[in-house]
Amino acid sequence: MNQLGAETIAIGTELLIGGRSDANSLFLADELGKLGIAVRFKSVVGDERQDIVTVIHAAVKRAQVIIMTGGLGPTVDDCTREAVAYATGHRLGRRKEALEGMMARLAQWGRIPNSAQLRQAMIPSGATVLKNPVGSAPGFCLTWKKALIICLPGVPREMEEMMRQEVVPLLRAASESSGRSFQAPISRQVFHTFGLAEADVDAKLKGLISKGVPIDLGLLASPMGVLVSLTTKGNRPVPEKNRDLLQKLASSVRSRLSDWLFAEGHDSMEAVVGRELATRGLMLAVAESCTGGLIGHRLTQVAGSSAYVDRGAVCYSNRAKTEMLGVPAELIARHGAVSKEVAAAMARGIRERANVSVGLSVTGIAGPGGGTETKPVGLVYVGLDDGTGRPIAQEFRFHGDRNAIKQRSSQAALDVLRRWLLDKALK
């Protein structure tokens, strides 16, 4: 049997005009891949009924599983229900199970549905209602022209729970009842690197995969580093020997990128650093200038971070650096606020005032203005002080817009801390 092909359709005008990015399709591709269903196409369409109808008509010609996200809410621009009904020729009607589920959820929140919210219980005839375990908008699915069309809310948390609890079991049951088995799961291993450009990562991995090997190598650059992926090809089953090959290639990736590889899978730099700090019983304090609190935010996004994060200070002005951290005004006057000397003094100042194990700092020029010939936009210094009298002050030169430079600076600071922690573990 040919492998089932899938298409994801993200609905929302805001996805087309830059207001919001579509992250749902990435999650859906991973979940479908675990079932051996390859996503062959991805569409994004605005909140216009006829446009959605056009996309549905195109999708059923090239995919057997179609998952649509978005447009199931109560507002006037939520028209996925109407579009699916019109495209497939199914009449819309209020469904008891959809209404009861929605009212029960709203009752938990102490709310009574208004007339607009009652629209959410309108489901195409012949469709199966999909329960929403965390939100009020139900989903639904129906088969049309040999394609299974699944409609889920666009809110990521709701979509993810419905995919796990409703859709995956539905797909498995459909496969068993039809006597058709899924292909082998599409396996994917992801590696996160920082400190190397995409071209340099590519050069280090040159020759990794020989011609004919049923595994794809992927690279994706972002301000957080370069993501490397190994994915078993979805057009054929993956026998045990190919799974062994995937592990062998993964080991080679680790070996070739060891100095720059900081995490695998869904792990993040802040989670890695947090575990290392917690394991060693160390407390951290952070002083930020150009990143404006981004490092502290990232660290405290990790559950349990109170075990190793003591405090953070945004010391944006020279006066703040002097008053809050004790950085000598004459040091700033002599070297400038963006300098190795000031970065080291900031790290020492925050460590001493917090009375913790290690202080981390960052100072730089995020742009778009403020740069000079000797100190251009993107120049960043990271400082680290552990009270041993051997502070670290490292220079970086980043490119991109203001947001990208701030992101890269926060990643660089955490990577300096990570490398210091690993070096400490080796001693």
pLDDT for the residue 1 = 42
User: What tokens were used for 366?
Assistant: 């995020």
CATH 3.30.2130.30 for domain 269-426, yes or no, is no
The fraction of the chain above a pLDDT of 70, given in percent, is 93
Nearest to 130 by CA among 174, 173, 170: 170
CA proximity to 80, closest of 96, 62, 99, 66: 66
pLDDT reported for residue 115: 87
| Cα 337 from Cα 317, distance rounded (Å) | 9
| Model confidence pTM above 0.85 | no
For residue 8, report the phi and psi dihedrals to the nearest 5 degrees: -105, 140
User: What are the pLDDT digits (tens) for 354-400?
Assistant: 999 999 999 999 999 999 999 999 999 999 999 999 999 999 999 99
Task: Take residue 173 and report the two structure tokens written for it.
Answer: 């049951």
Q: Tell me the one-letter amino acid at 408.
A: R
Pairing of strands 128-130, 139-144: antiparallel
- Beta carbons within 8 Å of 347's beta carbon, 6+ residues apart: 287, 359, 360, 361, 383, 384, 385, 391, 392, 393
Long-range pairs, 331-336, Cβ under 8 A, ≥24: 336/375
Cα gap 325→331, rounded to integer Å: 13
Q: Which residues pair with 393 in a beta bridge?
A: 383
Helices 49-59 and 80-88, axial angle in degrees (round to 10): 50
| Distance of alpha carbon 64 from alpha carbon 233, whole angstroms | 18
Q: Give which of 177, 219, 216 is closest to 197, Cα–Cα.
A: 219
Q: Which residues of 125-150 are buried (b: 16+ CB within 10 A; e: fewer)?
A: eebebbebeebbbbbbbbebeebbbb
The architecture of the domain spanning 5-178 is: 3-Layer(aba) Sandwich (3.40)
Please state which CATH number belongs to domain 188-264.
3.30.70.2860
Question: So what's the pLDDT on residue 3?
Answer: 62
Name the residue ranges covered by the structural domains of the chain. Answer: 5-178, 188-264, 269-426
Give the per-residue pLDDT at 18.
Answer: 65
- In the predicted model, residues of the chain with pLDDT beneath 70 are 1-3, 18-19, 177-184, 233-242, 424-427
Bond into 138 cis (ω within 30): no
Residue 232 backbone class (left: φ over 0; alpha: ψ -120 to 50; beta: rest): beta
Instruction: Name residue, tokens 């120049």.
Output: 379
Distance CA(400)–CA(269), nearest Å, equals 20
Q: Quick one: pLDDT at residue 182?
A: 59
Q: Give the C-alpha distances (Å, rounded to integers) separating 84 from 78, 149, 265.
A: 12, 9, 36
**What does the pLDDT look like over 316-365, one tens digit per residue?**
999 999 999 999 999 999 999 999 999 999 999 999 999 999 999 999 99
- The radius of gyration of the chain from alpha carbons, rounded to an integer in Å, stands at 26
Distance CA 193, CA 252 (A): 14
288 close to 362: Cβ distance less than 8 angstroms: yes
187 closest CA partner among 30, 6, 24, 3: 30
Q: Report pLDDT for 19.
A: 59
